[in-house]
Amino acid sequence: MNRVSVIVTTYNRPHALEQVLKGLAWQTRMADEVIAADDGSGEATTRLITDLVDRLPYPLLHVRHADRGFRAARIRNAAIRRATGAYVIFLDGDCVPGRHFVADHLRLAKSGCLFQGKRILVTEALADVFGWEQANDSWRLLKYLMTGRLGNAHHLMRLPWLPAHVSPGLSGTRSCNLGVFREDLVAVNGFNEAFEGWGREDSELVVRLYKLGLKRRTHSFMGVCFHLWHADNSRKRLAENDNRLNKAIHSDDYFTPQGLVQRSDDQGQ
């Protein structure tokens, strides 16, 4: 496997982002670069990245645009343009990776497929104190499991001898833990930037990747992350985004006109 880029989407949660970035520094296979895709965070996030950039064992880039609401599709595309890896792993800035995260993704990467990773849910009671050290401490994880502070806890087991399986459809699609070859992202023109506001931009991408001919692989016991609890994002544009997703489902086209190549990359917009 050639170079791998990890794109970490973030917005105004620097403590969580710090745990994610430090978790990526504690890998059995280091990413070749990590790109913080910043959806308009304030100065605290910039200060954090500036402080960490020379202390981490991988190149860390910061791609940011202005805060004009939830525009994850657009900032992810900006990060894809900067990425140099042949394989791209998308990870949210509140999803702390275990130490085999990158290695597992690469082990499960397969031409003609995307890989949908799973997540363990860290409850509200634990979210503010959970970080990369806890994610890699078996005894503390067992304690959290026994006290009901982790959801989807069956994903805690790492069973690399079990095969991945093909999972059709859209159920469980989440860009918080998703691996795709860069050439496939380019072929469909990346994320559809018509999606603004929370929801469905990841499902619509997967729909178009299916139409390109890809299959979706999943594995319940490899490549997992720990998703820190947060309050729900606004759903005020969800109906509009559902309509866009439905249109993509019923279209024969896999290429979005509002993606990677629609215009010059202006990070200040």
Max intra-chain CA distance, the chain? 51
Distance between CA atoms of residues 132 and 125, nearest Å: 17
**Which pTM does this prediction carry?**
0.94
The 8-class DSSP code of residue 123 comes to P
**Consecutive H or E run containing 14:** helix 14-24
Which residue, chain included where needed, has tokens 């595309």?
Answer: 77
Phi, psi of 238 (to 5 degrees): -65, -40
* Residue 61, C-beta contacts closer than 8 angstroms, at least 6 positions apart: 33, 34, 35, 36, 79, 82
Phi, psi of 33 (to 5 degrees): -165, 150
| Integer angstrom CA distances of residue 200 from 13, 48, 151, 196, 226 | 22, 29, 23, 10, 21
Distance between CA atoms of residues 118 and 227, nearest Å: 10
Radius of gyration of the chain (CA): 17
List the domains of the chain with CATH numbers.
2-248 (3.90.550.10)
Distance between CA atoms of residues 54 and 111, nearest Å: 34
Per-residue confidence of the chain (269 residues) as pLDDT tens digits? Answer: 679 999 999 999 999 999 999 999 999 999 999 999 999 999 999 999 999 999 999 999 999 999 999 999 999 999 999 999 999 999 999 999 999 999 999 999 999 999 999 999 999 999 999 999 999 999 999 999 999 999 999 999 999 999 999 998 888 888 899 999 999 999 999 999 999 887 789 999 999 999 999 999 999 999 999 999 987 776 777 788 888 999 999 999 999 999 999 854 444 44
First to last CA, the chain: 35
Cα 217 vs. chain centroid, distance in angstroms?
16
